[in-house]
């Protein structure tokens, strides 16, 4: 059964692969599983048919036979559990890789999202100039901790895993910012992820979808 994923018809990221369907595409490419895309307008995302799949009216979703899933973290974990290549066989190493998925999504990503929300939606507020450095310091703290843990290793715990896939996807939201550049080992880690053939294939596919939509 070929899974089907939903994504933005026209991603507001301009084809930079920052929306969360990219994590699912990357995971599927890593394990060699073919997939199809269903691209949705913002209007379609809020309609009952999509809300039945994703109660918050967001992308991505994942459908495979009788199974319908939402939450990119759950989807990537599902893919990693059903296919070889994204989780170690050793059960302790596997549990640690899953811990890194949670760390990416619940410890590292939230302050990054807070900063983006402030930049997009709070820029005109009187307190914005004071709040932004506070949010950036929170990110800096997390990145410093992550940087120390990664050290000069290639990946967070042994071989590349779904934990690295999620962590690199999260860090990519900071690509090109001084926050990430202050941590050269994290920059190199992100580049290692981005240069994986599976990442490249997923990136090119989402870019092709974006370009096709922009031409319509």
CB of residue 187 vs ligand GTB: minimum separation in angstroms? 19
d(CA 174, CA 176): 6
d(CA 187, CA 195): 12
- Among residues 27, 59, 190, 202, which is the contact residue for ligand GTB, using CB under 6 A? 59
CB of residue 97 vs ligand GTB: minimum separation in angstroms? 18
Q: Which residue has the tokens 């994590």?
A: 23
Residue nearest to ligand GTB (CB): 58
CB of residue 47 vs ligand GTB: minimum separation in angstroms? 12
Site size toward ligand GTB (CB under 6 A) is 12
Only one of the segments 29-37, 65-73, 94-102, 127-135 lies at the binding site for ligand GTB (rule: CB under 6 A); that segment is 65-73
| Beta partners for residue 37, in sequence order | 5
73 binds ligand GTB (CB under 6 A): yes
Q: Which residue has the tokens 């997390």?
A: 142
206 binds ligand GTB (CB under 6 A): no
Task: Please count the CA atoms within 13 angstroms of the CA of 18 that sit on its side-chain side.
Answer: 15
18 binds ligand GTB (CB under 6 A): yes
214 binds ligand GTB (CB under 6 A): no
What are the DSSP calls for 35-74, one per residue? Answer: -EEEEE-HHHHTSHHHHTT-TTS-S-EEEETTEEEE-HHH
20 binds ligand GTB (CB under 6 A): yes
CB of residue 89 vs ligand GTB: minimum separation in angstroms? 27
169, 23 in Cβ contact below 8 A?
A: yes
Element counts in the chain: helices (H) and strands (E): 11, 4
58 binds ligand GTB (CB under 6 A): yes
CB of residue 116 vs ligand GTB: minimum separation in angstroms? 7
- Residue 111: CB partners within 8 Å, gap ≥ 6? 135, 138, 139, 142
| Cβ atoms < 10 Å from Cβ of 78 | 18
114 binds ligand GTB (CB under 6 A): no
Only one of the segments 18-26, 31-39, 94-102, 139-147 lies at the binding site for ligand GTB (rule: CB under 6 A); that segment is 18-26
**Residues at the interface with ligand GTB (CB under 6 A):** 12-13, 18-20, 57-60, 71-73
């Amino acid at each position: 059964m070929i899974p089907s994923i939903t994504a933005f018809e026209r991603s507001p990221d301009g084809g930079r692969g920052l929306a969360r369907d990219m994590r699912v595409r990357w995971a599927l490419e890593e394990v060699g599983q073919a997939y199809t895309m269903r691209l949705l307008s913002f209007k379609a995302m809020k309609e009952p048919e999509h809300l039945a799949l994703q109660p918050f009216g967001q992308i991505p979703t994942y459908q495979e036979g009788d199974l319908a899933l939402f939450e990119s973290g759950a989807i990537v974990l599902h893919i990693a559990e059903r296919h070889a290549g994204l989780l170690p066989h050793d059960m302790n190493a596997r549990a640690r890789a899953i811990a890194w998925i949670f760390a990416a999504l619940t410890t590292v990503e939230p302050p990054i999202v807070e900063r983006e929300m402030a930049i997009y939606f709070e820029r005109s507020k009187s307190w914005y100039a004071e709040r932004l450095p506070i949010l950036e310091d929170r990110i800096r703290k997390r990145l410093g901790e992550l940087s120390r843990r990664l050290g000069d290793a290639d990946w967070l715990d042994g071989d590349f895993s779904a934990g690295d896939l999620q962590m690199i996807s999260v860090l990519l939201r900071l690509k090109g910012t001084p926050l990430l550049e202050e941590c050269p080992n994290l920059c190199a880690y992100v580049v290692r992820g981005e240069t994986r053939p599976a990442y490249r294939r997923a990136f090119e596919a989402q870019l092709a979808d974006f370009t096709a939509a922009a031409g319509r």
